[in-house]
A and B are shown apart, each in its own frame.
Chain A
Amino acid sequence: MKTIFLVDDSATMLMSLSEILQKAGFKVETAADGAAALSQFKVGAKPDLVITDQNMPGLTGIELIRETRKLAPFRFIPILMLTTESQQAKRLEGKAAGATGWLVKPVAGKDLLGVIKQVLPGT
């Protein structure tokens, strides 16, 4: 069973996305901000995919990606940005930081699962 790590400061987002992903057969781990996620990555959490929000207190999503990519086990793990931000410049910043894809909220459940299938082949 593949593990997906969700990072979002919105409790409703964490709850609704967790439900969608668990129903699709994934194991889900969560963190309410970038700093909490980063500390979990540093102490051994090793998900197959990370989905993060951009605007969060403390570390932003792009900063989290930048820091996460410095960790050897996370160099090639797909990281998706799921945010209300749609600006092209911000996307390019995210891509440069190491994001695998950019999804603008709200995303339909089937579309989200479709993207996950693309970045996690065999699921």
Chain B
Amino acid sequence: MIRDLWLALIARIGGLRPLLLPWFAERWTTFRHWLTRRDGRPPASTSAILPPSNDVRCRVFLSHASRMIEAFNQPLHQVIDETEQSAVSIIGRVKQLDQTATQLIEYLTKADQDTLTMQAQIQDSTELIERISQFMQQLPVKIEAERQGSAELVEKINQIMQLSEIADTIKDVSRLTNMVAINAAIQAAHAGEFGRGFAVVADEVRHLAGRSGTAADLIAQTTKTIHQAVHAYLDNRMQRDFTHDLQEAAHVSESVHQLQDSHEDMKQYYKTLLTVVKQYNISMAHEIVETLGSIQYQDVVRQRLERLLAAQARYDALLQTALDEPALGSTPHFRDHLEQVLSDYLEEESHHGKQSTDEDAPPMIELF
């Protein structure tokens, strides 16, 4: 009957039955066996066999047991709360880590796809560089060829111009010859019949001089035409080459700008990539640090349970003493000892962790 009441009392204290019930049940059984051994017969009921002193001692035990359970109850609930809080915190942080890692992988996968596009751009850039390189390589050869070609043309033009000078000389000779022929004709006329033959020759010479002059004019005109044609050709060619070179140069300039833009794009891309990866890493490092920090609860809980076990061991030792020496168990000292175990435990417990939400409570972090 009393055992049932005691168990009901423990049950009402609640929450600790799985932990403490076996411990008290074992001691209750030991106590009953001790009574049986002492009286030499099994007890019909506890109230029937217990002398008044035992009854008092039983009430003392029960009263203290109840208070001890109450005292243990609070820190054990704290342990449950702390471990749960710690586990929830760790799970939350690991979840956050997982999300960050997933986002990072997604970002890197996208970046990997982007690099395929960039590979094509790099290929284009390489071709542009090759083209520019070829242009630059050909440029000195081209300049030298044009220089030589120009020198030859200048020489030919000079030769043509010399033809013009020859034509002028022929023209002068023709004019002088004409003058001489006219004079010869005049002289032949003065000579009369004797100069008739000479007059025919002078007339022929004048005709020859006229034809020479005409030929010289033709040569001069043709030379001038050739000269103009060569100049026109050279101008056209120079204009054509210049336009072509200008187009090539413009293309090279455009290619260089394209390369520059491409280089800037790539630089910006990798800068962004590194910044994003760095941010993810900072976030992950922060979560890892805080996850590791949450593991401190294990030490806090361990120490709380160690204090509880120490108090329980002292209580157990006292009960054992009471069982071994029944007379001692009825003394006021015994009750004082039981009280002492409880008050020592409660005081020790109050020295650890955050015990109060009071603003006057010492800070969790204090620098002296």
Contacts and interface: CB of A to CB of B under 8 A. Distances in A.
Interface of A: 8, 10, 12-13, 15-17, 19-20, 23-24, 55, 84-88, 90-91, 95, 99-113, 115, 118-119
A45 to B, nearest CB: 23
Contact of B299 (A24, A85, A91, A105): A105
B366 A84 contact: no
A87 B295 CA distance: 23
Given A84-B303, A99-B368, A101-B368, A107 B354 contact: no
Contacts of A55: 303
B367 interface: yes
Interface string B270-284: 000000000000000
Contacts of B299: 8, 10, 12-13, 84, 105-106
A70 B300 CA distance: 30
Given A84-B303, A110-B286, A104 B351 contact: no
A77 B294 CA distance: 28
Contact of A85 (B286, B290, B351): B351
25 contacts: A10-B298, A12-B295, A12-B296, A12-B299, A13-B299, A19-B288, A19-B292, A20-B292, A23-B289, A55-B303, A84-B300, A84-B353, A85-B351, A87-B351, A99-B368, A103-B366, A104-B354, A104-B364, A105-B299, A106-B300, A109-B292, A109-B293, A110-B286, A110-B289, A112-B293
A4 to B, nearest CB: 15
A91 B366 contact: yes
B354 A16 contact: no
B353 to A, nearest CB: 6
Instruction: With a 10 A CB-CB cut-off, give which of A12, A84, A110 has the most chain B CB atoms.
Output: A84
A101 B365 contact: yes
Contacts of B365: 101-104, 107, 111, 115
A85 B352 CA distance: 4
Contacts of A19: 288, 292
B285 interface: yes
B149 to A, nearest CB: 71
B298 A86 contact: no
Interface in B312-368: 350-355, 361-362, 364-368
B297 A119 contact: no
Contacts of A85: 351-352
A84 B352 contact: yes
Interface in B192-245: none
Contact of B290 (A17, A90, A109, A119): A109
A99 B366 CA distance: 11
B156 interface: no
Contacts of B67: none
Contacts of A113: 289
Nearest to A87: B351
A107 B364 CA distance: 8
Contacts of B304: 84
B364 A20 contact: no
B360 to A, nearest CB: 10
Closest 5 CB pairs of A and B: A109-B289, A106-B296, A109-B293, A87-B351, A101-B367
Contacts of B350: 87
A86 B355 contact: yes
B302 interface: yes
A114 to B, nearest CB: 8
Nearest to A112: B293
A103 B364 CA distance: 6
B78 to A, nearest CB: 12
